[in-house]
Every structure is written in C-alpha cells, then in structure tokens.
Homo-oligomer: A and B are copies of this chain.
Amino acid sequence: MGKVARIRGRRAGGSRAKRAARSVATVSEAVSKGQPGGLYKPLSDADIQRIHGAALHLLENVGIGNPIPEILHYALPAGCLLGEDQRLRFPRSLVEDLIAQSATSYVMHAPDPAHSLEISGQRVYFATSGEAVSIFDYDSRSYRPSKLVDLYDAARLADTLDHIHNFGQPFIATEYSQELYLHNINIAYAELAGTRKPLSLGIAEVEHIDSLINFYDTYLGKEGGFLERPFCIFGGCPIVSPLRFARENAEVLVKVAELGLTADIAVAPQAGATSPAALAGTLAQCFAETLACLAVVNMVRPGSAIDFGMWPFVSDLRTGSFSGGSGEEALLMAATAQLCNYYGLISSVASGMTDSKCMDAQAGYEKGITTTAAALAGGNLISSYPGILGSLIGQSFEGMVIDNDMIGSIQRLLRGVEVNDETLSLEVIEQAVHGVGHYLNHPQTLDVMQSEFLYPTVADRRTPGAWEAEGREDIVALAHEKVKNVLSSHYPVYIDTAADARLREKFPIRLDKKDMQAGNGRW
C-alpha cells in the first residue's frame, strides 16, 4: 500500500491548495504554434539513405506512368525520359538537383496575418483535413451526409480551438458533390466565413483554380490581391499508386506551380493494396511517388514550395481495408517525417485517422499514438484530423474539441523541458526542505503556473466523487456542451457586408445568411 498511501497523501495536499482558491483562466502560455520536433528518430541514417536510394532507383528505372502532356512539356526538356511503355523516367542526378532546388520553407498565409504560419525547419503545426463524406451525429450516434452548413460550423468551431493551426477542408458538402464548381466556390466561402486561420482546399478540376482566385480577389476587392498573399492552399492527390500520375490532380499540380503557389499534396499508397505489404517497400515507393511531384513543380518553376505529403497508408490485410489508427500507421508517418526532414523537405504527414466509429477510448488512443509519433518525429504540417472517425469516413464536432485538447497535450510534450539554473530550482528546493516542507505556496509555483503547465479545456480532472455526484459524463458529453456553446454564439463577421455583397453578386453562394447569425435555432 506504500505507493497508494503516498499518492493519497498528495491528494490531501491538493485540497489545501484548493482551499486557497486559485482560480485562473485557462490560457495557453505553456505551448506555442510551430514548436520544433524531431527528437524521435525511428530510422537510422543508413535506413534513410537506403530508402532514398531505392526511391531514386524506382524513379530512374520504373518511372511514373500516365505522364500528362502538361508534365511532359516541362519534364522532357529538363532531362526526363519517356519510355516506349509511356512511363516517365527521372534520372537520379536530375531528382537530386530538384530536391536541392526545392524551397525548404514558406509562409502559409492566413486571412488574418496574425494566424500566418512560418513553415520551416522542424517546426510542427496541426491541421484539420480529410474531405470525409459524413458527420457523426451526437444525438443519434449515426452518420449522416455532411452539408455545406456543417462545413461553415466546423470552420467556426476550429476558429476557437487554439491547437488547430490550419483549417483544411475536413469534409465535403455532399449536396453539391456532383457540381464541382458550385462545390468549390461554396467550400471556399464557408471556410472564409468561419475562420481567419490559414485555409486549404482540395481541387479536383484545374479550371476551378482561376475561378477561386477570382473569388478571393473579389473578397479582397483587389484584382491580383490573392496571389500577393495567398491565404488558401490548393491541394490534391496527383498520384494513383503504384507509380502513376492521376490526370486531373496532376493538372492541378502543374497549374499551382505555374502560379507560384505552394502545392499541397497527399500521396497515399496503401501497404498491401497499392504498395508493398513490407513497410520499407511502401516507404520506398511512396517516397518515389512524392518525389515525382516535387520534381514536377520544380521543373515547372525552380524553387517551388511543396507540402511534401508522403502519406503511406496501411491495410488491415484480413480485409484489405484501410486502417488509419494502427501502430503501423503511426510508425510509417513518423518515418516519413524523419525522412523528409533529413532531406530538408517540407514534411506533411497524417495522423489521428482512427478506425473507431465513435469518439471512444479506441479513438482516443489511436489518435494519441499516431499524433504523438508524428509530432515527436517533427512533421511540419500534421494533418491530425481532429474529429475524424471511421478511417476517414466521418467528422465529429465533439471529436474536434476533444482532439484539440489532445493536441494541446502533445504540444506540451513537444515543447520539452527547459533546463537552466533557474529551472533546476536548487534554491527553491533548499527553501522548501528547510522551510515548510512543500511547494504549494512557493512564489515559483505561482510564477510558473501558466508557463510550465497547460490546462485542458474539456478534459476532465475532477475527483471521482465529484464526477459521480455531478452526472458521470464522459468527455464526449462535455465536448458536446462546448460545441453547442461555441456554435450557438460564435458567429464571426469575417466577410464584411460589402465583400459579401460583391461575392454573392458574382458567385453562386448557397450558404444562407440566416444560418450565419445567432438565434437561428440550429444549435
């Protein structure tokens, strides 16, 4: 009973402190966005070099199939070779040169510059992502198709969540999924109306890019304004694994590079299905595929920035289905972060893609393990999928709130321990030992209360007694209260009346104004 007695003793100490009624605001001085990662290195340097060598071998010898004319236009003069099998082969030295030319940093602009992110080194940021197709409904515990208004709500919610740094489109507006132009314009509108954080958007058709730039220029009231400070990143999946270009998304890739924008890509072969079941083989193939995209944008425009989205996915080989929450997925993503950082690439990794269908303990630990591994390995842009469920099938608003607290904890871990004369506290310790025998009221304790410790917003730290007396809610119930509070009250006016009029005149905006005002009864 030794251990437990000791712990109970400390809880008593806790009560003393409680009586001192130190109530404080829960602000996040303890963590900051863009903290460096990379102290977890799953691969040896030799492993990294072998994977790199295998990827360059594949690019040189197997090449990438379906090279679209837009790519051939740049690639053949640059030194790529088109084989009789219509596969585009990349000489090793060319790829090495293009890696060396590729941008190693960029500023991810936000509608509000205060939210802009400096993407460089091993700085770590967290983003929503996904393009799921459904919402997991709290009351019915079932999945329903996601709508445009849900996206606006998700953006407003993310706007209030400290540890989400980039709002990537988490799901589609299913009611417009067959009308891609209408869909993209309205997604862009809903994102912009809901948050001032940096935005991302999946683009399926290259011709929508000009429309979207026009949309953003109209919002700004300035032609050419968007390209001066592009606060939305356009993304897609330019590869169909194994080792083929995907026509539409590859066209987007070329166009984005031509415009001087950062390309945001996800190359996601699935081990055992579209890449080898051996994890090293999946890394080699996926590295080759993603390097092909890096090569393309840098042949189009040397020095292009690309979010190097090398996203090896994992199959559950019993069924062949994608398993986003597995230990293998955590490992692969951490390995890619390290691999990218080793070569100075801007790493974009995925995490949090739980296989659970609801926000339960499985969702918690799968998200916790995968996101911890990705962050410690130093992924620059972690699509940590706050709120995603069911191997990327659906989004939970409550999950966004819970995952925000989770990411906060991971950010605190990432920050590390500052070791210096002051923090080593030798004098403080001597004072406590020779004085009152504890630290509860020591000035240092109060001083570092907000700087050393991060307090969660919904995670429950009540005593079991209080919890039992006050309703035994799980964290989903607590998060649901927060979702309702935020979404019934946080109706920011990020698109002012004049801009809104300009946009609605020129574009088919379908988000109803009454859904964008408090008191509409939706929450």
Tell me the complex Cα distance, A137–B324, Å: 31
A412 and B331 contact, CB distance less than 8 A = yes
| CB–CB B356/A459 < 8 A | yes
Name the one of B270, B399, B432, B464 contacting A143, with C-beta atoms under 8 angstroms: B464
CA distance A227 to B521 in the complex (A): 72
| Contact across chains for A22 and B368 when beta carbons are under 8 A apart | no
Query: Within A383-410, which residues are at the interface with B (CB < 8 Å)?
Result: 390-394, 399, 402-403, 405-406, 408-410
Contact count band on A: 35 or more
Contact B327 A460 (CB under 8 A): no
A280: chain B residues at CB < 8 Å are 417-420, 423-425
Q: Kindly provide the distance from the CB of A13 to the nearest chain B CB, expressed in whole angstroms.
A: 5
Interface residues of A in 421-457 (CB under 8 A from B): 422-426, 428-430, 432-433, 437-440, 442, 444-445, 447-449, 452-455
Whether the Cβ atoms of A365 and B362 lie closer than 8 Å is no
Among A4, A17, A393, the one with the most B-chain Cβ atoms within 10 Å of its Cβ is A4
Considering only residues 203-255 of chain A, those with a C-beta below 8 Å from chain B are 203-204, 235-237, 240, 242-243, 246, 248-249, 252
Q: Is A113's beta carbon under 8 Å from chain B?
A: no
A407 to chain B, nearest CB (A): 9
> Binary interface profile of A, 263-293, with partner B (CB < 8 Å = 1, else 0)?
0001010101111111111111100000000
Partner of A277, one of B7, B235, B327, B445: B445
Contacts of A266 in B (CB 8 A): 2-3, 6
Nearest-Cβ distance from residue A334 to partner chain B, whole angstroms: 7
A424/B50 in contact, CB under 8 A = yes
With a cutoff of 8 Å between Cβ atoms, the chain B residues found around residue A452 in the complex are 277-279, 328
Q: How far is the CA of A3 from the CA of B7 in the complex (A)?
A: 49
Counting CB contacts under 8 A, is A202 at the interface? yes
Give which listed residue, B322, B364, B366, B367, contacts A7 with CB less than 8 A: B322
Evaluate contact between B449 and A277: CB separation under 8 angstroms. Answer: yes
A125 at the B interface (CB under 8 A):
no
Can you report 29 A-B residue pairs in the complex whose CB atoms are below 8 A from each other?
A1-B183, A10-B268, A10-B313, A14-B273, A17-B317, A42-B416, A62-B429, A242-B438, A272-B440, A272-B445, A276-B428, A278-B423, A321-B463, A328-B452, A330-B413, A331-B415, A332-B417, A357-B462, A357-B464, A357-B468, A361-B364, A362-B364, A362-B405, A364-B364, A368-B369, A369-B372, A369-B409, A369-B410, A393-B464
